[in-house]
Chain A
Amino acid sequence: MTILADAMTRILVQGITGREAATFTAESIAYGAQIVAGVTPGKGGITIHGVPVYDTVQAAVSAHPVDASVISVPPQFALDAACEALANGVKLLVVVTERMPRRDVVTMLETAARAQARVVGPNTLGVISPGQTRVGMAGGSAHAVRRAYSPGNVGVVSRSGGMMTEVANLLTQAGIGQSTCVSIGGDPIVGSTILDLLPVYEADPDTHAIVMFSEPGGIMEERLAAAVKKHKPRLPIIAFVAGRFADRMQGVRFGHAGAIVQGTQGSPAAKIAVMRDSGIIVANKLYEIPDLVREALLRR
């Protein structure tokens, strides 16, 4: 089993005629994803890689029921596209769009919460359930996804889209497969944090452990640690925090969205300390992760 998406998930792509979206649509289909429709206002009636394109989400969903929508539109249209999907009953949005204004992100998440829908992103590369489906563009071509990702029992949650593939590849190289990998997005405010996904993974009997890739900034890891301490989840969590060097270089702001350290709040050292204290296993090096996962699985 998987979380969020599997081989049966019917996917809509908003902004499907964009260069990037057209490419990942073709590659996702080649990987096995069921992309049933696309939307680009003004392009209704054409097909892209065999996928019918509509002018509105309303028209798309009345012809093809969908379970999830990938939003790949320019930042100035992203809030509207998300609201359109929500208004038409889509319950899972994967927002690939980067650089959405904060106000729009918050308004989108507020609207989604009212509609009882889940948002992954913004600024995500998407979700991969290896061997079953991909929602979004993580991992590149179908061939590249098959090489880096393999089916199995470890969930991967990453604040960096690129490093999700790196971590999945590391596990695959070590013979450890993945249940579902989620690029949660690099922005300071995202729809699904590790804390939101933990209960979803907990409910999946086929996920046996979670590997998390973290970065400086925000309070997501601190909140996760508090929740782990309190609720003692079934799943072992193996975390890696990149950007420890930022602690030694106070005042320098690093560009990767979300990785902004101010004072000690959100600093990697503070995150590592509270996570270790809560029982989360923190790897010092990426290459320690496969062994730490194996040990954690043996202790189950």
Chain B
Amino acid sequence: MIIVEYEAKNLLKARGLPIPHGLIADSPEEARRAAMHIGGNVVVKAQVPVGGRMKAGGIRFANSPDEAAAAASILLGMNLRGFIVERVLIEQKLTIITELFIGATYDAAARSALLLTSAQGGIEIESVGTVGRIHFSTAYDGLPAYVAREAAASLGIRGRAFQQLSSLIKQVGDAFIDLDALLLECNPVVLDDHERWWVADVHFELDNDALYRQKSLIESSPFSAALANNRTAFENRAVEIDQADHRGVAGRLIPFDGNIGLLIGGGGASLTTMDAVLDAGLKPANYCEIGGNPSVWKIKELTKLILEQPQVDRLVVIMNVVSNTRVDLVARGVIKGILELGRDPSTVISAFRIPGSWEDEGYKLLDHYGVRYFGREMTIEQVIESIV
């Protein structure tokens, strides 16, 4: 999940990183008061979990409280790359002598954490020619201080600014490890006219698999947590169904506008099925990933959720040759869901293809209701092609 700028800055500030003075505002009036409190020239920044805000017009400069209020009224409510701006950050404007890029992420090819540095900050790092790349170990509590010094030296910084920058880089590396970041990008890191370094902007992506040990981070970032949980009613119901019963997975339901409901899984088979459906010119009503060994209730509720969308007139049930999922339980859940909606399983289900454990029991049930099913001798795409 992405931690938005002001909450990421609060986290870094608490760790001792130099963050410019800033206040948040949810209205132009609050923005005016914030600018007045900060004094002097300010920056007004939209707080949305996306990059490239400058280009998209989400960052504005103001030379007075009135201008700050005006900037906030433009930004608040604006759609910025799919996100409505609900909050802005008002921050003191820095006098920039030098701008750098300091970031940490994981390098999949090297299977290691990676410190990225560039003497050209402020713009998209992808377009910068020379980027320093230093791999570092995640086995320790933090980034070794000498690695931070080497990085600072490689940026051509000398003297007092060198010492301060080295310590800033170390703190960025330490925070990356400690806060279970997948990406912690400080861009730009700014040297002002008093020879002081500041982290002027932050991009922080948290590892969702580490949430269990980052509880206090989540608690101190309620705005980002709410944005990450922002789902449609359809997606919310799917999550509810999944969480109501620990058996099996009713993974990620994403609605589309087609007429064919998809009850599909596991992950790789879901991807394969979606390709086959679109290649055949059919229109999916949703994406989904079922897996593990879901209960009859879970499958029944998912079936109903998918079929209750008004444009859906039929259902395709497909999984790879399953090892742990019980075919009969899935068949029972699907049929039960359709019957509870007062519909006929033999006409609603276009294809049922889940070969594997307990398939004979499942097929018996499908036979009883006249449902068309396919065995392991047919691949996923052949099943889809047969229903076009």
Known: A140-B357, A287-B381. A76 touches B212 (CB 8 A): yes
The answer to the question of A31 belonging to the interface, with a C-beta cut-off of 8 Å to chain B, is no
9-residue interface stretch from A47-55, A62-70, A87-95, A96-104: A96-104
Query: Chain A CB within 10 Å — which of B137, B254, B270, B271 has the most?
Result: B271
By the criterion CB–CB under 8 Å, are A255 and B109 in contact? no
Chain A positions within 8 Å of B278 at CB level:
245, 248
Chain A positions within 8 Å of B254 at CB level:
252, 254
The answer to the question of B356 belonging to the interface, with a C-beta cut-off of 8 Å to chain A, is yes
By the criterion CB–CB under 8 Å, are B252 and A189 in contact? no
By the criterion CB–CB under 8 Å, are A170 and B379 in contact? yes
Closest residue of chain B to A251 (Cβ to Cβ) is B82
By the criterion CB–CB under 8 Å, are B271 and A256 in contact? yes
By the criterion CB–CB under 8 Å, are B210 and A103 in contact? yes
User: Binding site of B, secondary structure by majority: helix, strand, loop or mixed?
Assistant: mixed
Closest residue of chain B to A163 (Cβ to Cβ) is B268
Q: What is the size category of the interface that chain B forms with chain A?
A: 35 or more
Q: Which of A198-236 contact B (CB under 8 A)?
A: 213, 215-216, 218-220, 223
The answer to the question of B377 belonging to the interface, with a C-beta cut-off of 8 Å to chain A, is yes
By the criterion CB–CB under 8 Å, are B357 and A141 in contact? yes
Chain A positions within 8 Å of B139 at CB level:
107, 110-111
Closest residue of chain A to B382 (Cβ to Cβ) is A287
The answer to the question of B267 belonging to the interface, with a C-beta cut-off of 8 Å to chain A, is yes
Q: Which of B108, B137, B357, B380 meets A144, CB within 8 Å?
A: B357
Q: Mark B281-323, 1 if CB is under 8 A from A, else 0.
A: 0000001010100000000000000000000000000011111
By the criterion CB–CB under 8 Å, are A173 and B376 in contact? yes
Q: Which of B352-376 contact A (CB under 8 A)?
A: 355-357, 376
By the criterion CB–CB under 8 Å, are A110 and B138 in contact? yes
Chain B positions within 8 Å of A10 at CB level:
none
By the criterion CB–CB under 8 Å, are A160 and B266 in contact? yes
The answer to the question of B274 belonging to the interface, with a C-beta cut-off of 8 Å to chain A, is yes
Known: A110-B112, A166-B320, A255-B251. A101 touches B210 (CB 8 A): yes
Chain B positions within 8 Å of A29 at CB level:
none
Least distance between A170 CB and chain B CB atoms (Å): 6
Q: Which of A32-70 contact B (CB under 8 A)?
A: none
Closest residue of chain B to A214 (Cβ to Cβ) is B268
Chain B positions within 8 Å of A75 at CB level:
209, 212
Q: Mark A152-164, 1 if CB is under 8 A from B, else 0.
A: 0000001111110
- What's the Cα separation between A107 and B137 when bound, in Å? 7
By the criterion CB–CB under 8 Å, are A255 and B381 in contact? no
Chain A positions within 8 Å of B270 at CB level:
256
The answer to the question of A181 belonging to the interface, with a C-beta cut-off of 8 Å to chain B, is no
Known: A163-B269, A255-B252. A285 touches B323 (CB 8 A): no
By the criterion CB–CB under 8 Å, are B320 and A162 in contact? yes
By the criterion CB–CB under 8 Å, are A102 and B210 in contact? yes
Chain A positions within 8 Å of B177 at CB level:
103
- What's the Cα separation between A141 and B357 when bound, in Å? 8
Least distance between B128 CB and chain A CB atoms (Å): 17
Chain A positions within 8 Å of B357 at CB level:
140-141, 144
Known: A169-B376, A173-B377. A159 touches B274 (CB 8 A): no
The answer to the question of B111 belonging to the interface, with a C-beta cut-off of 8 Å to chain A, is yes
Least distance between B110 CB and chain A CB atoms (Å): 9
Q: Which of A169, A188, A286 meets B108, CB within 8 Å?
A: A188
- What's the Cα separation between A287 and B182 when bound, in Å? 38
Q: Mark B107-119, 1 if CB is under 8 A from A, else 0.
A: 0110111000000
The answer to the question of A177 belonging to the interface, with a C-beta cut-off of 8 Å to chain B, is no
Known: A219-B108, A248-B278, A285-B379. A102 touches B271 (CB 8 A): no
Chain B positions within 8 Å of A99 at CB level:
209
The answer to the question of B344 belonging to the interface, with a C-beta cut-off of 8 Å to chain A, is no
Chain A positions within 8 Å of B252 at CB level:
254-255
Q: Which 8 A-B pairs have the closest CB atoms?
A: A160-B268, A140-B323, A256-B267, A255-B252, A163-B268, A101-B210, A243-B271, A242-B271
A165-B321, A219-B109, A245-B274 are known; give 17 further A-B pairs, CB within 8 A.
Answer: A101-B210, A106-B106, A106-B113, A106-B138, A110-B112, A140-B357, A141-B323, A159-B268, A163-B268, A163-B269, A166-B268, A191-B111, A219-B108, A242-B275, A243-B272, A256-B251, A256-B268
- Please report B residues at the A interface, Cβ cutoff 8 Å: 82, 106, 108-109, 111-113, 137-139, 177, 180, 182, 207, 209-210, 212-213, 251-252, 254, 265-272, 274-276, 278, 287, 289, 291, 319-324, 355-357, 376-377, 379-382
